[in-house]
Structure 1
Amino acid sequence: MTENKDLKSRLVIGEKRDGRREYDEGARDELVMMCLKPGVSIARTAMEHDVNPNQLRKWITRYRQQRMAQAQQTSPSGADGVLIDTPTPVRPSVAREAPAFIPVVTAPSAPPAAPQGPSQALPLMVAALLVRLPNGVEFELGNASLDELATIVQMLGRLPCSGSTMG
């Protein structure tokens, strides 16, 4: 409790003509560090030290921004300037485990049999598509290749949704 009283008495060092108070930087930083501890109420701490809670929150934000800027200057970061917190592995054997994502390589499909004539060239698979929308619109496509169906489905997926069909 005497520590809080001492900090409270050291915090304000003067007043400006317009009534705003001037604060000691060391005491202000000490108050900010006190608020950064887990479970500490910023509002309660501010009221106990006769400081506006919003002002204390500004000090905390400024402290964190300065700390991030210092960390960016001292440690290498990515090209976009974003700091990445990488935890240290608990066990050294974790690094030797298989990666989470394994690339899948597919074998090329067998080439189609040589067509017996120019008019007899058929796609490998033929499918049909029937779309019925809630507003009554129907779209039917028969005897289309998978590539054609995929293109149509992608185009339909890119269409904007109207407000009248959203439920």
Structure 2
Amino acid sequence: MSESYFSELAKRLVVGHKRDGRCVYDEKAKHELVLACREPGASLAKVARACGVNANLLASWIRRFEGSVTQSSPPSGEIVEAQASDFVPVRIEPVESAEQPMAAPVVNLQARLPNGVVLDLRGCDLSQACSVIEALGRVRCSASTKG
């Protein structure tokens, strides 16, 4: 989203002032601002600064909006996108062999995902580690889609 969008949104955001000087905000503009914060790669602090709003106030709007979305159905005509889970089920099957000439190599695997999750597998065999790596490679995340 561009700076011109945020400057136009900032103009529509404040619709008045209370007696004590606090601002009165337009609900539709607040909703647009919350949706702008939910865009991939959007920084809450940067969006708040671009619109002239305190970041803590914007964070409380986001919490309130997310709470109302989970408690009620979406308004008519509005599309609410469902986010894919951050976790992918991985099925690991033991390799059965009739003969065991050598012990399979033991692998220690640690993966740090962009959302902060750390996957730490110790003592798994090579085929299990390959299965996990393949599954992690198929996970779509915002860090891997940025160009």
TM-score (norm 2): 0.47
Larger radius of gyration: 1
Higher relative contact order (CA 8 A, sep 6+): 2
TM-score (norm 1): 0.42
